[in-house]
Structure 1
């Protein structure tokens, strides 16, 4: 989907200081959506559905997408409809090749130069998040991960995981900046008082909500955006 990313006026950016908290989604946010990890995950989800429900691939695909639409994640649908073991599911669907992600020393440097807490907030698993962060070379810059297990398997953009994250980690939403590739996931965060940044994705399904006024900023270059925050915080 074509979308011209609007340039950010540095004057409109918040100042990052020791009281700030940067909250990052993981997939297609910390690395470019062109890496297309989700296609690998989607294939494994389809295989899991086919094997578990003993369905041919084409029927399993329809179930996979139906559960995703109705429950927010295929996992949630499988848990609600079939009482599956979520740990087994998460281990199998995240058994993917991460070599398509290039280490990002520029991202690591920008994170290192921002004097504040940084956390991951993902609908994926902690193990997957840790592997991606290690691959990027940024794991040491994050305080913690809040994953789908911490959210009791209730995915963004439902309200509960946002509430649980802030309560668990003692985050003041008015001091938080939230980065996310799925535009609709930013909207509850803004309603809570966070500054929101949409990290542009080429995936059509990530664009839902992109024109909502609750999105404060957008970028197609996360390291460059973080560098702007660094420059402003150093003034």
Structure 2
């Protein structure tokens, strides 16, 4: 189905596993580093640290949320563990660059990562010049997606009408508050088509062809 996005003038994109394919394995290295950090903070064995990490993710929407709440972790210190990651797994995709370039209006990154990580990934993907701003976890006062307050904050900070915004995300639950506010929601990734969530408007395994085929607002 070709998406009708002719009413959209603000484009919100999650970063990890959305602007690059989950199959890259890059997110796996992020998760390994998080588990190692949980081990360091708690003293747990790796398997127990992994389980605790996943519990915090489920309970708080972000592993960091549980680490701050229960272990007094400094968010800035936590994010430094990703700053020296190799980006070799991420590839420049000319098709994606062209597809995003044709989108009319503002384009924003909306991520639970920090700005430094987002900037590195965007540069590696060759997408930096296509985005107007990065709304990172710091911009959200460390309240992560899927908190509704964070969606309200990005809407207020960037003064856009949610009804004229589209949000692209690989995590199904992060689309629920977007839909509640009136955004057009697009679930991206290899498992997207299996989603039956009523708040998901469109589903696509691959971002670039979806954007390339979508009907867009005519240029003024």
> TM-score scaled to structure 2, two decimals?
0.92
Give the aligned partner of residue 4 of structure 2.
13
1:228 aligns with 2:213: yes
Q: For the residues of structure 1 that align with 2:167 and 2:43, how far apart are their CA atoms?
A: 40
1:106 aligns with 2:88: no
3-state secondary structure, aligned to 2:41: helix
Q: Verify the 8 A CA contact 1:41 1:94 in the aligned structure 2.
A: no
1:181 aligns with 2:170: yes
Q: Verify the 8 A CA contact 2:10 2:106 in the aligned structure 1.
A: yes
Q: Verify the 8 A CA contact 2:162 2:183 in the aligned structure 1.
A: yes
Q: For the residues of structure 1 that align with 2:51 and 2:172, how far apart are their CA atoms?
A: 25
Pairing of 1:139-178 with structure 2 (within 5 A):
139-178=128-167
Q: For the residues of structure 2 that align with 1:60 and 1:221, how far apart are their CA atoms?
A: 33
Pairing of 1:88-127 with structure 2 (within 5 A):
88-127=77-116
Q: For the residues of structure 2 that align with 1:64 and 1:214, how far apart are their CA atoms?
A: 27
Q: Which moved more, 1:131-140 or 1:68-77?
A: 68-77
1:211 aligns with 2:207: no
Q: Verify the 8 A CA contact 1:16 1:114 in the aligned structure 2.
A: no
Q: Which moved more, 1:81-90 or 1:52-61?
A: 52-61
Deviation at 1:232? 4.4
1:61 aligns with 2:55: no
Give the aligned partner of residue 5 of structure 1.
none
Deviation at 1:94? 4.8
Q: Verify the 8 A CA contact 2:151 2:178 in the aligned structure 1.
A: yes
Unaligned runs of 5+ in 1: 1-7
1:81 aligns with 2:70: yes
Please tell me the root mean square deviation across aligned C-alpha atoms, in Å.
2.0
3-state secondary structure, aligned to 1:68: helix
3-state secondary structure, aligned to 1:135: helix
Q: For the residues of structure 2 that align with 1:100 and 1:67, how far apart are their CA atoms?
A: 27
Q: Verify the 8 A CA contact 2:185 2:199 in the aligned structure 1.
A: yes
1:45 aligns with 2:34: yes
